[in-house]
Amino acid sequence: MQTTLTTRRFTVHEYYRMAEAGILAPGERVELIEGEIVQMAAIGSRHAGCVNRLTRLLMEASGNRAVVAIQNPVRLSQISEPEPDVAILRPRPDQYADAHPGPGEVLLIIEVADTTLDLDRGVKALLYAGAGIAEYWLVDLPGERVEVRREPGEEGYGEVTTHQRGEVLRPLGLPGAEVAVDAILP
């Protein structure tokens, strides 16, 4: 006899209530993906260094045209609130103190992958595309390249390009900005 398990998904509101009640420990590295609470991978030094480089590069490239958010929540739906490594956001007077950004406020999301390539290429790419995030970069540290995804849709991104050392990236949401792949990679 085959038994089917029924799972219960959580909303963002319930997720926050769990944190307030102490079910999720303060500082616990988790995110809500499609109603499931997912433990995030530990951040190694290569990953941290890359995020630090991206922070500096994107702050310089964006100037006052955008907010550079590092490992902060982005509310994609009522059941998904990931914490991407970097999110480039439309400026808002409150600097997102009143509410986390939604998909319409995201210009670019970047994930840095050292050990999470499958998750970032699969689940995360589909999640961001389904929410309509216009551009998603995946920094593949082991492969020493940056994958750029554009043209979001329900089935994923319609355009996927791979960029190596010596190439320059031009974020759609920051006209005129250029980021060298060499400057991103260790």
The predicted-structure confidence for 16-42, as pLDDT tens digits, reads as follows 999 999 999 888 999 999 999 999 988
Q: What percentage of the chain reaches a pLDDT higher than 90? A: 90
In this prediction the pTM is: 0.94
| CA gap 79, 83 in Å, rounded | 13
- Residue 3, pLDDT > 80, answer no
State residue 32's pLDDT score. 95
Cβ-proximal residues to 175 (8 Å cutoff; 6+ apart), any chain? none
Section 98-112 average pLDDT? 97
| CA gap 136, 129 in Å, rounded | 8
pLDDT band per the 50, 70, 90 thresholds, residue 1: low
pLDDT band per the 50, 70, 90 thresholds, residue 6: confident
The predicted-structure confidence for 137-169, as pLDDT tens digits, reads as follows 999 999 999 999 999 999 999 999 999 999 999
Question: 42-184: which CATH number, 3.30.1200.10, 3.20.20.190, 3.90.1570.10, 3.30.390.30?
Answer: 3.90.1570.10
State residue 162's pLDDT score. 98
Domains of the chain, by residue range, sit at: 42-184
Cβ-proximal residues to 29 (8 Å cutoff; 6+ apart), any chain? 39, 40, 42
- Average pLDDT over all residues of the chain: 95
* Ramachandran assignment for 96, one of left (phi > 0), alpha (psi -120 to 50 degrees), beta (any other): left
DSSP helix/strand/coil, 19: helix
